[in-house]
Every structure is written in C-alpha cells, then in structure tokens.
Amino acid sequence: MKMSTFVLVHGSCHGGWCWRNVTPILCKDGYSVYTLTGLGERSHLVNRDIGLHTHIRDIIQVFEFEDLDEVILVGHSYGGLVFGRVAEKIPQKIKRLVYLDGYIPQDNKSAFDLEPSLETLYKERALREQGKEWLVASYKPEEFGVTNRDDINWMSTRLSPMPWHTHDQSIRILNPLAKTLPKSYIRGVKHYLKPLFRHVRRYVEPFISSDFIREKMINDD
C-alpha cells in the first residue's frame, strides 16, 4: 500500500523550521516541509510584492517539481488560506486537507475580510519607522500561546515579519471537485490569539457538519 505524503504549510511569521518536532513522527511516511517566500530561511527574499498569491504558487511548485500525488495537505493558521487555493488548482493531487487552527477560505475574501480586526492590528504593527509600511512585525512567541521558555527562546530568533499583501489579497473558491475533498479541522482548546479568530466560530461549525469527517480537540496545556 502506498504511504501517505504530507505537505506541511506553516502559518504567519513562521517557516519550515516550526515543524521540527513533528517531522520525526512522519518518518514512516513521506513528507515535504517548505518555507514560504520571504519568511524563515527565505526571509532575505522579502519584498513589497510578496503576497498570498506568491505563497500559493510556492506550494503548487512543490507539487509540480517533486511529482507529488495523494497528498495530505496540512495548513497551520494562515496556511489554511494558502492551501485553500492550492486545492482549487490541483484537487486531483490531494488526498485530504487538514486545517491546524487554520483559516477557512471563503470565495473572493482575504484574511482581512474574514477577520476585520486583523487589518487594524496590522496597521499598528507595520514597520513604518523602517520605511517598510508593507511589512508587519511578527507576533511574539507568547502571543502564539507558547509558554515553554526553551521554545520561546528558540522561536524568538526565527519568527519573521509578515508581508502586508499576504492578508489583503483574496482568492477564488469555486472548484466543485475541491469541495468534495475530505477535510479535518484541528483546533486548540485554548486558542491563541482568540480575538483574531472569530471567523473560526462563524465558519468551522457549519463546515464541520457538512464537509468535515471529524474535528479533533487538542488540549494545549
């Protein structure tokens, strides 16, 4: 029987590095961890034109150049928007979508549309004093719900500012084949950044009842 292949898509301000403790568990299966352009070890490539559409292309290129098929696509937070559009473009290559505290993409909507309070926050955190109003300072590890001091120290040196256009670009969600893909939603019991994820309450519950096989609840104590 063919082993599953996992493609792990990180969220805002992170990079492929954030999956370090997960990938050993997947050793028996294939997996691909990729850092989105302008973040993590690719932060030297950041520029004002990078946006959600850039990151969608990043992941589609991984599928194309690594000849991936039957993939379990995992997206954390912002990564849910990225793979939402990837699934629209290449649903035939995807076995299951797994949202890890992720955005639920909606047709013709951006992250700012899904959670309007985010735009206000991003404006406050924009790096204007550095002449980079198109770049938004990273959240601190504690804002992501991290409490372990070693993990906080590890993350603090790796989190990257986020390009503005990752959150103001919308995507189209129209492909009927993509809508039939099996889906799972993994939600933390104590959700980090709770005020920023009210859209999860609006969209996840009906999504689970109609499209999701199951919802897993993870206690993040």
Residues assigned a catalytic role = 77
**Core vs surface per residue 53-76: b (16+ CB within 10 A) or e:** bbbbbbbbebbeeeebeebbbbbb
Picking from 189, 183, 194, 182, the residue whose alpha carbon sits closest to that of residue 217 is 189
The span from the CA of 118 to the CA of 197, in Å, is: 9
The span from the CA of 213 to the CA of 185, in Å, is: 9
| Strand extents, DSSP E, 101-202 | 126-127, 132-136, 162-163, 183-188
What is the SS3 assignment for 191?
coil
What sign does the CA torsion over 35, 41, 43, 45 have?
Answer: negative
The span from the CA of 154 to the CA of 26, in Å, is: 22
Picking from 61, 78, 99, the residue whose alpha carbon sits closest to that of residue 185 is 99
The span from the CA of 76 to the CA of 114, in Å, is: 16
